[in-house]
Amino acid sequence: MAHSLVLCYHAVSQDWPSPLAVSPERLREQLSSLVRRGYRGATFADVVRGTAPANSVVVTFDDGCRSVVELGLPILAELGLPGTVFVPTGFVGSQEPMSWAGIEDWTGTPHEDELLCVGWDQLRGLLSEGWEVGSHTVSHPHLPGLEEEALAAELTE
């Protein structure tokens, strides 16, 4: 039976000891294994629309960490896979690290640069490589705790 497999990653790093990070070697190993088994690349929207090929793999990255472009993109390109990146739009292009509950403990550490978000030109570059770019809200808040107006703003801006 044909199916789609959706993988969700966050950051790609050589040495960030966070559960949010996967090493480039591990990412390549995981994705290569799927490609060898006959999985073909698709975007998240392909799966949602029902246009993904049989036995497809969707590689998603939440949070828009720069490492996705710097270390993830070359691996996916080598394997002929598109990616989907979901970006908190309020951080795009900032030179300050992203910060919200769960990652703020890395601010001020040697791994602070892992929290830098992609820029608009990098996102355009991903699109030109066949990737999909989606919103991951504006500021990455805990959505169930927001009032209706703030929730609408996070989802539409």
Q: Given pLDDT bands bounded at 50, 70 and 90, which one contains residue 3?
A: confident
**Predicted local confidence at residue 136, as pLDDT:** 95
- What's the pLDDT tens digit per position in 50-91? 999 999 999 999 999 999 999 999 999 999 999 999 999 999
**Predicted local confidence at residue 102, as pLDDT:** 87
- What's the pLDDT tens digit per position in 100-126? 988 999 999 999 999 999 999 999 999
The full DSSP string for 120-145 is HHHHHHHHHTT-EEEE--SS---GGG
- Report yes or no: 94 and 122 within 8 Å, Cβ to Cβ: no
- 10 Rama class: left (phi>0) / alpha (psi -120 to 50) / beta: alpha
Q: Which fold has domain 4-156?
A: TIM Barrel (3.20.20)
Residue with tokens 């989907």: 84
Q: Where are the domains of the chain?
A: 4-156
What average pLDDT does range 89-99 have in this prediction? 96
**Predicted local confidence at residue 118, as pLDDT:** 98
Q: Distance (Å, rounded) from C-alpha 73 to C-alpha 79? A: 10
- Supply 101's token pair: 């509950």
**Predicted local confidence at residue 2, as pLDDT:** 64
Judge whether residue 1 has pLDDT over 60.
Answer: no
- What's the pLDDT tens digit per position in 13-33? 999 999 999 999 999 999 999
The full DSSP string for 23-52 is -HHHHHHHHHHHHHTT-EEE-HHHHHHT-S
What average pLDDT does range 141-157 have in this prediction? 95
